[in-house]
Amino acid sequence: MSHHRVAVIPGDGIGVEVIAEGIKVLRGLEQTAPNLTFEFTDFPWGCGYYLQHGEMMPPDALEILAQFGSIYLGGVGWPEKVPEEVAVRGVVLAIRFGFDQYANVRPVKPLQGAPFPLAGKDPSQIDFVVVREGTEGLYVGQGGRYARQQAGFEQWASLRPAFLQSDELAVQIGLYSEHGCRRVMQYSFELARRRAGKRLVTSCTKVNALNYGMKLWSDVFEEVAEEYPDIDHEWMHADALAMRFVTSPEHFDVVVAPNLFGDLITDLSATLLGGLGMAAGGNIHPGGIGMFEPPHGTAPDIAGRGIANPVAALLTAGMMLDELGEAQAAHLLNDAVADVVREGAVRTPDIGGASTTQEVGDAVANCILASRPQTSDFRPET
Ligand code: IPM
Ligand code: MG
C-alpha cells in the first residue's frame, strides 16, 4: 500500500485550471492502481493570497510544506496586480531555494501527433532532458541598486564610461559554488546512465564571456566527467547550444545548464514539444521534497477561459509519481496522455484543437480508467 501526502499549490491564472485536471487524473489512477492512494492538501498561496494578506505565503509555509512527501504547483504570477519579482520570489523561488531543489528537470521528448516546428526533422528522433541548476547563479537575488549619491556607486561606476554618465546603476550577482555545480552535474551523469540512451552529457556554459562563474562551472564539469568514463561528455556555449536545439535536437541526451541559461533554453526546447502547454518540469533534491511544476507560468492572457492546455501539468504529475517511486502509475499516466494527444480528437487550441482544459483532463482520466485491471484488489469508485 503506498499512500502519498501531496501539498497542492494551484497558484494563479491557468495554474488553478490545469492543476484541477492533474488532481482529477491522479484520482483516476487511484481507482486503477490497486494500492495507490493520495491525500491532497490545498494551499491557496499566490497573488490572490498576497492581495488579502500582504504576503505570498505565510511565514511558516516551508515548515508546513516540509510535512508532505511532495509539492504540486500550478504557477504563480498576476503581473497586473502584483509585481512579478515579488510574486515569483515569494513562492516559486522561495520553495526551490527553501528545499534546496537543485535539479530542475525538464524532459524534451515530443509526443506523436503534437505540432512540431522543424521542417525536415523527425520528432521521433528527439529525446533529451535538460537538467537546469535550480538554486544558484543569477537567481540568488543578490546585488543592489545604487543612485549616484549612494555609497558604492563610485566603485562600480568607474568600470565603464556609460556608468559614469548614469544617475543609477544596478548590480545583479551570479553566485556559483563548487559543490553546487558538482551535485547537479553528478545528477546529470547519473541520469544519462539510467536513461541508457546516447550516454552523453552536454554542459551549457559561456566561459568565453563569463570568466569567473562559468569558468568554475566548466572546470567542475571536466572533473565530474572523469568520474563517469562510461558516459561521453562535451560542452557548448549557451548561444551555440540554443542554435543546436534547432538545427540538430536529435544530438542531445542530457544537457546540464546553469540556472538562467537553463530557463532560456527550456522555453526554446518546449517549442519542440508543441509549446509550453506540453512541457513538464520537476524541481528535485534527491531524497528530499520535490516541487513539480509545469514551466509555463500563469498565462494571464488566457486565464479563466477554460482553454489552457493541461498536458504539461499532467506530465508533470507523471514526473512527481516517478520521483515518489510510482514508476508504474507514472507510465500509465504518461501513456494515457500520449494516447489522447496521438488520437487528436480532444486537444486544446494551442495545439490545434477546440477542446477545453476539462475535456482534455476527462479524456486522459477516462483513458486511465479504461485500463483498469479486473483484479481482486479492485476498489470501486467512491
Ligand atoms: C520557469 C519560469 C520561472 C523561472 C519564473 C516564473 C521565475 O520561467 O520555471 O522556467 O525563471 O525559473
Ligand atoms: Mg522559464
pLDDT tens string 271-301: 999 999 999 999 999 999 999 999 999 999 9
Q: Would you say residue 380 has pLDDT above 90?
A: no
Around ion ligand 2, residues with a beta carbon closer than 5 Å are 263
Which cell numbers hold the place of 141? 537575488
Q: Give the Å distance between the CA of 93 and the centre of ligand 1.
A: 8
3-state SS string for 5-40: EEEEEEECCHHHHHHHHHHHHHHHHHHHCCCEEEEE
**Coil, strand, or helix at residue 69?**
coil
The residues, ordered by sequence, that sit 6+ positions from 39 with a Cβ below 8 Å of its Cβ are: 3, 4, 5, 6
In this prediction, residue 1 has a pLDDT band, given cuts at 50, 70 and 90, of: low
Ligand 1 site residues (CB inside 6 A) read 88, 92, 263, 295, 297
> Ligand 1, from 263, 266, 293: best to mutate by most atoms within 8 Å of Cβ?
263
Residues spanned by CATH 3.40.718.10 within the chain?
1-110+274-382
**Helices vs. strands in the chain: H and E counts, helices first:** 14, 12
Query: Average pLDDT, whole number, for the chain?
Result: 96
Tell me, what's the pLDDT at 272? 98
Tell me which ligand sits closest to the C-alpha of residue 84.
1
Q: Where are the alpha helices (DSSP H) in 4-152?
A: 14-32, 47-53, 61-65, 84-88, 94-98
Q: Give the Å distance between the CA of 303 and the centre of ligand 1.
A: 18
- Domain 1-110+274-382 in CATH 3.40.50.1110? The answer is no
CATH code matching the domain that covers 116-133+176-273, chosen among 3.40.50, 1.10.1060, 2.60.40, 3.30.420: 3.40.50
Tell me, what's the pLDDT at 378? 42
52-103 tens-digit pLDDT: 999 999 999 999 999 999 999 999 999 999 999 999 999 999 999 999 999 9
Q: Give the Å distance between the CA of 204 and the centre of ligand 1.
A: 18
Closest-lying ligand 1 atom to the alpha carbon of residue 88: 7
The residues, ordered by sequence, that sit 6+ positions from 156 with a Cβ below 8 Å of its Cβ are: 146, 163, 169, 171
Tell me which ligand sits closest to the C-alpha of residue 297.
1
Q: Which of 266, 324, 364, 339 is nearest to 18 (CA)?
A: 364
Residues spanned by CATH 3.40.50 within the chain?
116-133+176-273
Q: Give the Å distance between the CA of 263 and the centre of ligand 1.
A: 6
Tell me, what's the pLDDT at 44? 98
In this prediction, residue 371 has a pLDDT band, given cuts at 50, 70 and 90, of: confident
Tell me, what's the pLDDT at 382? 45
Determine contact, residues 168/147, Cβ cutoff 8 Å.
yes
Q: What is the distance between the alpha carbons of residues 330 and 43, in angstroms, rounded to a whole number? A: 24
Q: How far is CA 80 from CA 41, 207, 300, in A?
A: 28, 37, 9
Tell me, what's the pLDDT at 374? 52
Per the listing, cell 550516454 goes with 199
In this prediction, residue 373 has a pLDDT band, given cuts at 50, 70 and 90, of: low
Percent residues over pLDDT 70 in the chain: 97
Closest-lying ligand 1 atom to the alpha carbon of residue 263: 10
Q: Would you say residue 34 has pLDDT above 60?
A: yes
307-349 tens-digit pLDDT: 999 999 999 999 999 999 999 999 999 999 999 999 999 999 9
The residues, ordered by sequence, that sit 6+ positions from 306 with a Cβ below 8 Å of its Cβ are: 17, 356, 357, 358
Q: Which of 272, 205, 264 is nearest to 234 (CA)?
A: 205
Residue nearest to ligand 1 atom 1, measured at CA: 295
Tell me, what's the pLDDT at 376? 43
167-212 tens-digit pLDDT: 999 999 999 999 999 999 999 999 999 999 999 999 999 999 999 9
Q: Would you say residue 24 has pLDDT above 70?
A: yes
| Mean pLDDT of the region 126-140 | 98
